[in-house]
Amino acid sequence: MKNKSLISINDFSKEEYFKILDLAEEFQKNPNQKLLENHVVASLFFEPSTRTRLSFETAVQRLGGRVIGFSEASSTSVSKGESLKDTILTVSRYADLIIMRHPIEGSARHASVVSDKPIINAGDGSNQHPTQCLLDLYSIRKTQGTLENLNLFLVGDLKYGRTVHSLLQAMAQFNPVFNFVSPPSLRMPQEYKDHLDELGIKYYEHDQLDENINHADIIYVTRVQKERFSDPMDYEKVKNAYILKNKMLENTKPNLKILHPLPRVNEINTDVDTNEKAYYFDQAENGVYTRMAIMALMLGIK
Ligand code: CP
């Protein structure tokens, strides 16, 4: 993993996932370790973020490193017309590692080609969000004790939701059953279903969020992504397609955990927050430990 970029979840092997998850567990037990002293990490966010940016920055601080960067491109020379290539070529002269979120699919891969420092994709359009995926794997393994043979419900915006695309590819290696719950206009893209067919992984598509969830080990809820719709009317039609409420969880399995990459809008009612099956804020915390592990391994510190 040393000096390798992380652009897609497929860039790392199953063995590398486990290495990251095991190290994240160590960091959760002992989060303040000065392993990144003398390292500078660049945090370049061309698109809004709360959890990804702040958990990465927390992770760097806990490891004793320093962060440079920006949280909106309007404050940088991009607003004067500078290209992504020139921005990356410049920042790679300053920092040892670059974390980048960008609205355009493929931008992170492009950055990794021009940079001589490793790039971490913190989300590129509706394509991939691999560090979210690794913290999701960490959360699933921590709550279920295994990644194998689980019944996973992916709910909401399966078309534009980059987190579910990364999660599908990673979890497909652990013999799951997938249930996709979405409005017809936001179905899981065909290329991902073809991938599951090639691997012989079972999946079912549902229009409704109903009693089928009583068989779930994990319900992974996603926000309908307003910013990815070209026609606002299309968004209005589906924005409240599913709302998970506490009473819907009465007959669910005792081991069930509800995950959400967040931010949430309406798709999980706040009455679920106090249910012991709600795990999304713990999941957000797990992002710090997982990102500490990813950076320590990519920089060859651990
Ligand atoms: N999960 C996630 O990517 O959240 P942010 O957009 O707040 O970073």
Of 163, 207, 209, the C-alpha closest to 185 is 207
Q: Could you check whether 9-128+287-298 and 130-284 share the same CATH topology?
A: yes
Query: Is ligand 1 within 6 A of the CB of residue 50?
Result: yes
Ligand 1, residue 122: give the atom nearest the CA: 3
Q: What is the DSSP string of 4-71?
A: --B-SGGGS-HHHHHHHHHHHHHHHHS----TTTT-EEEEEESS--SHHHHHHHHHHHHTT-EEEEES
**pLDDT of res. 204:** 98
Q: How many CB atoms are closer than 10 A to CB 149?
A: 11
Residue indicated by tokens 């040892």: 96
Q: Does residue 52's CB lie within 6 angstroms of at least one atom of ligand 1?
A: yes
Mutate-to-test residue for ligand 1 from 44, 47, 52, 129, highest number of ligand atoms within 8 A of CB: 52
Q: Tell me the CA–centroid distance for residue 52 and ligand 1, in Å.
A: 5
Q: How far apart are CA 51 and CA 101, in angstroms?
A: 12
CB atoms within 10 A of CB 117: 21
The CATH topology of domain 9-128+287-298 is Rossmann fold (3.40.50)
CATH fold, domain 130-284, is: Rossmann fold (3.40.50)
Q: Domains of the chain: which residue ranges?
A: 9-128+287-298, 130-284
Average pLDDT per run of 10 along the chain, which is 302 residues long? 92 95 98 95 97 98 97 94 98 98 96 97 94 98 98 95 94 98 94 97 96 97 84 82 95 98 95 98 98 97 86
pLDDT for 241? 83
Q: Which tens digit of pLDDT belongs to each residue from 157-179?
A: 999 888 999 999 999 999 999 99
Query: For residue 43, what pLDDT is reported?
Result: 98
Residue located via tokens 């921590």: 142
Which atom of ligand 1 lies closest to the CA of 262?
1
